[in-house]
Amino acid sequence: NSEVLRNEFIIQLDGWYSKAERYDIICDAMKKVHINFTSWGVLERRNAANVHPSDFDVLQIDSDFAIEIKDLKHHRVKSITPQRKFIGGLKQFAGKSNWMSYLNQMKHFPHKSRMPLRAIGTQIQIAEEVQARQMWDAGFKGKGVKVAVFDTGLPAKHPHFKNVIERTDWTDEETGNDGLGHGTFVAGVIGGSSQACPGLAPESDLYIFRVFTINQVSYTSWFLDAFNYAILRKVNILNLSIGGPDFMDKPFVEKVWELTANHVIMVSAIGNDGPLYGKISIYTKLIYVIGVGGIDYSNNIARFSSRGMTTWELPSGYGRIKPDIVTYGLNVYASDLVGGCRALSGTSVASPVVAGAVALLLSSVKSSQRDLINPASVKQCLLASADRLPTANMFEQGIGKLNLIEAYKVLNSYQPQASFVPSYLDFTKCPYMWPYCSQPIYYTAMPVVANITILNGMGVTGMIKGRPVWHPYSSQNGKYIEVAFTYSETLWPWSGYLAVSITANKAAEQWEGVAQGHVEVTVVTPSDDNNRREQSSTLKLFIKVKVIATPPRAKRILWDQFHNLRYPPGYFPRDDLHMKTDPLDWNGDHIHTNFRGLYLHLRGAGYFVEVLGSPYTCFTAKHYSTLLVVDTEEEFYPDEIAKLHRDITEDGLGLIVFADWYNTSVMAKVKFYDENTRRWWLPETGGSNVPALNNLLKPYGVAFSDMVYEGQYSISSHEVHFASGTSLLQFPENSMILRKSLKDQGREILSGSSPVPTEGIPILGMYKIPTENGGRLAVYGDSNCIDSAHQTTDCYWLMDALLHFITQGIISPTLQSDGGLSMLKTKVRVTGGLPVRMEGNHLFKYSKVLESHLGDPVSKPQPSCPVITWESQDFINESSPSYMWKPQRLNLAKPDKALLRKINS
């Protein structure tokens, strides 16, 4: 029930200026684009930061000039970004059949880009579980530590809080009170003083920032003002129990950088979208934020806790570890609104547990050590002391479970240094190193990429000195593997990355064994204005991989990642149109995220699955039996189409395509007004980009239709749910197709009526290319049954059947039973034209393939294939240490024995 606000833009400046100075800068800028004074104004922001200098303003402008504002240039203006409004979530609708009601509602409710993460709700005191009482008994209760809670507020005279220093409201409701209870609960976990449900750091100084209204609405500008004020108040820790998929809100992300650079330790919930992979919440993706996942009291990963990997590195790279750490998030007991206690669950509960623990840790630091405390050093100590959970992988638990007492010991012996996260790569150890441990490497395979975070506790700015050096171990078969690097030469703030590509070389073509070595990196932090001298830290990243002889071609599958697009930044809709509360496709469509179940099945069946992050012109077809193209949204370069045709007709490559719905009328119907970008959002494609897929398949006489079908069908002993899929429009003669009775879902969406199922809809086709060395082709109209995101029942058995056909020419008896596959003597041509691209769509804005202009799609010049420069091998006669599997050992000073005796007692 939110008001649609149009024509507001955030103008970010190059520094902090007074209100009058900012106004003068904007006036000067507006003159240059010839927008008169009556057509714009600066939004008055009535909050605690109003009297202080700021680095941004919110511009309100007439709609006639909304386009011109994007061309505004000024030497003091850093960027201009649409103002964003956020609401707790889309309205949920009960009945699947009530499409007209749903579509009507979609016109008035924005999607959930940012929201307070909802906690779900025995009485277990969290302070006892994390051993906070040992810290209290030693005299450490968070005294003097400033903790900012960004949430829904706090009642003014709540009896559980003795050290609320300030309550500020950043919304338009002019109250600091909490009407939801979320903010009160979060603050209670951190600093509540109730005997029944005490917080972890009851003497910490709480700064309450109310950034969400009673309706869970917020704006980017509210957060920016509140963040600026947190910097002015010199808070030490900031807890964000908020979530959502949009990691491209540039002003917000840049402000988080600035906060971290100003020594603010950011703690954020990972999100409540588990058990799916690849659904990490917005700002937890950032390297320098401490991302927190949830576990139960038996040390199992909570089902609701989101799993990694991060997805913004796709398609050419690979995601990083997230969460960073896990702690209790199930049935945590803390303050309610009226002075009692209640139990809630969620990563929004786990996040303040870590924030409270950090407050305790900071209060324990000796005054002589205080200048060593920064976001990187605190994160290093938390991770170095975490307990590894034996049954969870790194994308579920991060480095491990919070261990407060061990973190205390590490922090109080800490010396400035850099470190890796993870601190080693052992591809032989499962489950922790999943998915790396799930498949050995071999010669001619696509390189495996591991994305390593570098934390720099020596200073906010650092650099990598020289280049990383690869040291294969001569006595541990290091000669069989090659390593290459991509890395950030400058580390800011407090962090950087090291992407390591690993492959087996020619010498390993028929070899099997374990190969080892390490990468050596030196991080340097320059001297600063506080007379700190230059510091350096040399790190070793131990690498251990399983190598096998190159598998036979029939067992090798290539997964097309290059042609998958996702939200953000564009509106790429869900593949199942019944998923009305989650309209955006933001899982990454990766074989290790929402297609993880399929990957595990294929590995269990003995296949080797590699990931292609570049165009089709960049792989060698003779290495693979099958190219797997699933739910693609991207266009195809003409050279890709031509090269793939040669691969299939001359080199025997097989092709399997799983498509999804596409219909321009349905796409227009599911539009919604997005207050992030101040425009109506039309899907850039359907569930998949069928016009592009038809271009790819045209040389074989194959095309999908623009019909949208759904329904249940049976084949042999298998029940299949066809969820918002498409049908075949054309298929060649001397092939086989499967027809089933399905409901016209597109008609249901457009008219509101529920049509009866139609018999004989062609949804699966199988075809042998009629050339001497021709491969085989199989296409199916729906990917939902192999996608774990909203899967009803899986159809991995169908993938098995298609692979048997592609690799061996065997037609599964399952597909032939119950009136299944039928032979086509003549080519099929269903009535109707080929699907067309939606007029005025903006796919070109997000495409790697298309030129950036409206109108008919035109391909960019195809880029050269990526060339990996493998590092020279500097052999040494060593082996990986026995403690390699443990979190990285930090270089620590001798501990204060008196303090250790105090805490251990």
Q: 137-176: b or e for each residue (b if 16 or more CB lie within 10 Å)? A: ebebbbbebbbbbbbbbbbeebebbebbeebbbbbebeeb
Question: What is the rounded CA–CA span in Å between residue 4 and residue 10?
Answer: 17
Note the Cα 183 to chain centre separation in Å: 25
What are the φ/ψ torsions at residue 349 (nearest 5 degrees)?
Answer: -90, -40
Q: With contact defined as beta carbons under 8 Å apart, do 483 and 517 qualify?
A: yes
Q: Please count the other Cβ atoms lying within 10 Å of the Cβ belonging to residue 532.
A: 14
Q: Please count the other Cβ atoms lying within 10 Å of the Cβ belonging to residue 414.
A: 22
Alpha carbon of 639 to those of 102, 695, 857, 864: distances in Å?
42, 12, 15, 12
Concatenating the DSSP letter of every residue in 678-699 gives TEEE--SSSSS-HHHHHHHHGG
DSSP 64: G
Q: With contact defined as beta carbons under 8 Å apart, do 401 and 386 qualify?
A: yes
Three-state DSSP state, 174: coil
DSSP 43: P
Instruction: Please list, in sequence order, all residues whose beta carbon lies within 8 angstroms of the beta carbon of residue 856, skipping any fewer than 6 positions away.
Output: none
What are the structure tokens assigned to 602, written together? 């294929």
Residue 150's beta-bridge partner residues? 209, 240
Calculate the dihedral angle through the C-alpha atoms of 627, 628, 631, 632, rounding to the nearest 10 degrees.
Answer: -20
Alpha carbon of 71 to those of 12, 25, 66, 368, 369: distances in Å?
14, 16, 10, 51, 49
Q: With contact defined as beta carbons under 8 Å apart, do 389 and 326 qualify?
A: yes
Alpha carbon of 329 to those of 130, 184, 301, 792, 824: distances in Å?
12, 16, 9, 28, 57
Residue 294's beta-bridge partner residues? 327
Question: What is the rounded CA–CA span in Å between residue 116 and residue 213?
Answer: 10
Residue 822's beta-bridge partner residues? 737
Question: What is the rounded CA–CA span in Å between residue 239 and residue 223?
Answer: 13
> CA-based Rg of the chain, rounded to a whole angstrom?
28
Helices marked H in 675-788: 690-697, 745-751
Q: With contact defined as beta carbons under 8 Å apart, do 41 and 11 qualify?
A: no
Q: Which residue has the tokens 């998929």?
A: 245
Q: With contact defined as beta carbons under 8 Å apart, do 662 and 683 qualify?
A: no
Greatest alpha-carbon pair distance for the chain in Å reads 88
Q: With contact defined as beta carbons under 8 Å apart, do 585 and 309 qualify?
A: no
How wide is the angle at C-alpha 355 spanned by C-alphas 130 and 892, nearest 5°? 75
Q: With contact defined as beta carbons under 8 Å apart, do 283 and 338 qualify?
A: no
Concatenating the DSSP letter of every residue in 321-378 gives P--SEEEE-SSEEEE-TTS-EEEEBSHHHHHHHHHHHHHHHHHTS-GGGGGG--HHHH
Helix and strand element counts for the chain (H, E): 19, 43
Residue closest to 115 by CA, chosen among 241, 10, 230, 227: 241
Question: What is the rounded CA–CA span in Å between residue 327 and residue 305?
Answer: 11
* Beta strands, E only, 613-685: 626-630, 654-658, 672-674, 679-681
Question: What is the rounded CA–CA span in Å between residue 699 and residue 685?
Answer: 22
Residues classed as catalytic: 151, 182, 348
Question: What is the rounded CA–CA span in Å between residue 44 and residue 416?
Answer: 44
